[in-house]
Amino acid sequence: MARFGGLLATDLRDVTRDPAALESTGWWAVVADFEGRLTCARFGDVRPAPPGPAGSARWRGPAAGDWTSSLDRAAYTAGVRRIREHIAAGEVYQANLCRVLSAPLPEPAEADVDALTALLARDNPAPYAGCIRLPAHGVEVATASPELYLRRTGRTVESGPIKGTGRTAADLLEKDHAENVMIVDLVRNDLGRVCTTGSVTVPALCAVEPHPGLVHLVSTVRGRIADSAGWAELFSATFPPGSVTGAPKESALQIIRALETAPRGPYCGGIGWVDADRGTGQLAVGIRTFWIDRTATPAPVLRFGTGAGITWGSDPEREWAETELKASRLLAIASGTHQPLGGTIR
């Protein structure tokens, strides 16, 4: 099953890794791992659905103290310093450094990402929230993403890169604005590879956008896809998303591979839906995203990614604190310890 934008999709018909299928017919759920593994699932029954899990599932998440990180504080801050050395050497302007948090599930056989999605919708609403549950194909993802990767309406395509995070707008620094502008230039270049000449514009630059527990700087980049291009060409030109890689993208990816110790999986990839019949689709950047890894040993685990964009102006401890800020509320929700204002711990 899949759930996005108030729609519930069931009756699985096809699963493919070929992005060209998204130009065919039907309604598709899409997950593209950061490492490039694409899963497209076509469903036969897509209908409006009330909030809450599709069945009677109840989420029981990991214990709050059981989360471990692929990079601890010392390793992460050392990574920030190393990226600043790359910047000083002129090899990169910005790179996104991420870590993956993992915790064992107390009842893995009963774990249902749709039930987790219902909790996230209640306690951390997000514009691109949803889930895809395809356990036979190794996909069990719940996202509360605030970031638009690609929205397509006919030949028009739009991206909404986020760069710059703080608890309030007063926390945002000149460094955050500079970082956002750098990534907007990268996204403009990526879309320019697949859009008609002169059609790529920036309708909004560095808008302050509030989300539960924090604020982001968000920009909008828009263009018109060339008549000869489709979803396959869009992915080829823009993936992985620029906001979670860096600039220049290829140099940033080399640095990421050298410093990060765990694959990102659906975190920082693309997650969403495509309606091939209507020529529309919406994919989020897979941030604020949980996924179940049933291949982990000795038992299945729940994973969650968090990271920060590193520039020459980055302070290692501040960047570590940003990754903690991005993760804290979501981990508390998944572990059942989030305390809403005026409420009790649940």
pLDDT score for 339: 78
Q: Which runs of consecutive H residues, i.e. helices, occur in the chain? A: 73-88, 113-123, 174-192, 231-238, 249-259, 316-335
Residue 345 lies in a domain: no
pLDDT score for 53: 78
User: CA-CA distance, 248 to 111, in Å (whole number)?
Assistant: 39
User: CA-CA distance, 55 to 49, in Å (whole number)?
Assistant: 12
Q: What is the mean pLDDT of residues 98-113?
A: 96
| Number of Cβ within a 10 Å radius of residue 200 | 20
pLDDT score for 49: 86
Count how many domains the chain has: 1
Confidence category of residue 346, pLDDT binned at 50, 70, 90: very low
pTM of the model: 0.95
Residue 259 lies in a domain: yes
Q: Which residues pair with residue 216 across a beta bridge? A: 165, 209
Residue 344 lies in a domain: no
Confidence category of residue 95, pLDDT binned at 50, 70, 90: very high
Q: What is the mean pLDDT of residues 318-346?
A: 83
Residue 72 lies in a domain: yes
Does the pLDDT of residue 342 top 60, yes or no?
A: no
Number of helical H runs and strand E runs in the chain? 6, 18
pLDDT score for 52: 72
Residue 341 lies in a domain: no
Q: Which residues pair with residue 151 across a beta bridge? A: 158, 282
> By the 8 A CB rule, do 323 and 306 touch?
yes
pLDDT score for 175: 86
Q: What is the mean pLDDT of residues 93-116?
A: 96
Task: Map residue 280 onto helix, strand or coil.
Answer: strand
Assign residue 270 the CATH number of its domain: 3.60.120.10
> By the 8 A CB rule, do 332 and 290 touch?
no
> By the 8 A CB rule, do 346 and 335 touch?
no
Tell me, what amino acid is at 188? R
pLDDT tens readout for residues 3-37:
999 999 999 999 999 999 999 999 999 999 999 99
pLDDT score for 341: 55
Report which DSSP code applies to 24.
S
> By the 8 A CB rule, do 8 and 49 touch?
yes
Residue 25 lies in a domain: yes
User: CA-CA distance, 228 to 226, in Å (whole number)?
Assistant: 5
Give the active site residues.
147, 163
Continuous segment of H or E residues that includes residue 171: none
Residue 300, preceding peptide bond in cis (omega within 30° of 0): no
Residue 129 lies in a domain: yes
> By the 8 A CB rule, do 31 and 139 touch?
yes
Task: Map residue 168 onto helix, strand or coil.
Answer: coil
**Dihedral of CA 13/126/182/86: which sign?**
negative
Residue 140 lies in a domain: yes
Confidence category of residue 2, pLDDT binned at 50, 70, 90: very high
pLDDT score for 56: 59
Domain span holding position 158? 2-335
pLDDT tens readout for residues 241-263:
999 999 999 999 999 999 999 99
Residue owning tokens 């897509």: 46
The percent of residues above 70 in pLDDT, for the chain, comes to 98
Confidence category of residue 54, pLDDT binned at 50, 70, 90: confident
